[in-house]
Amino acid sequence: QKEVEQDPGPLSVPEGAIVSLNCTYSNSAFQYFMWYRQYSRKGPELLMYTYSSGNKEDGRFTAQVDKSSKYISLFIRDSQPSDSATYLCAMRGAQKLVFGQGTRLTINP
């Protein structure tokens, strides 16, 4: 069983929709929870990170962590075509990062 599971999609939604991306994990030692965005032919870039449980908001993006359920989410409000990318969740325990497969998201104008 993988430590981190992420639905690979693809996910296609109209512009302006609310997008929900999710990951589940099995390792209770994970303390930092991250979302990376990766545009085509580019490296991943950090979008948001959260320490332990709770919510974090940054503009149109909200990250949620529920450690009791081992479940994290990223919500994108008022989605824009420029949000079209692959979104990877990542988690960190002692030293290393463990990534999900990534969800390919397309926002249609």
Partner 1 sequence: EADIYQTPRYLVIGTGKKITLECSQTMGHDKMYWYQQDPGMELHLIHYSYGVNSTEKGDLSSESTVSRIRTEHFPLTLESARPSHTSQYLCASSEPGAGGWNEQFFGPGTRLTVL
Contact flag: residue 41 with partner 1 (CB under 8 A): yes
Q: Which of 76, 87, 102, 105 binds partner 1 (CB under 8 A)?
A: 102
The span from the CA of 109 to the CA of 88, in Å, is: 23
User: Is position 42 an interface residue for partner 1 (rule: CB under 8 A)?
Assistant: yes
Residue 99 as a binder of partner 1 (CB under 8 A): the answer is: yes
Task: Compute the C-alpha angle 37/80/72, nearest 5°.
Answer: 45
CA distances from residue 58 to 29, 61, 93 in whole angstroms, order as listed:
26, 5, 24
Shortest Å, Cβ 57 to partner 1:
18
Q: Cite the beta strand spans of 1-109 per DSSP E.
A: 4-6, 11-14, 19-25, 32-38, 45-51, 54-58, 61-66, 71-76, 85-92, 97-99, 103-108
Sketch the per residue contact string, 3 through 32, with partner 1: x for CB under 8 A, - otherwise: -x-x-x----------------------xx
Kindly state whether residue 2 participates in binding partner 1, applying the rule CB under 8 A. yes
Number of residues interacting with partner 1: please give it, by CB under 8 A: 23
Q: Which residues bind partner 1 (CB under 8 A)?
A: 2, 4, 6, 8, 31-32, 36, 41-46, 49, 51, 88, 96-102
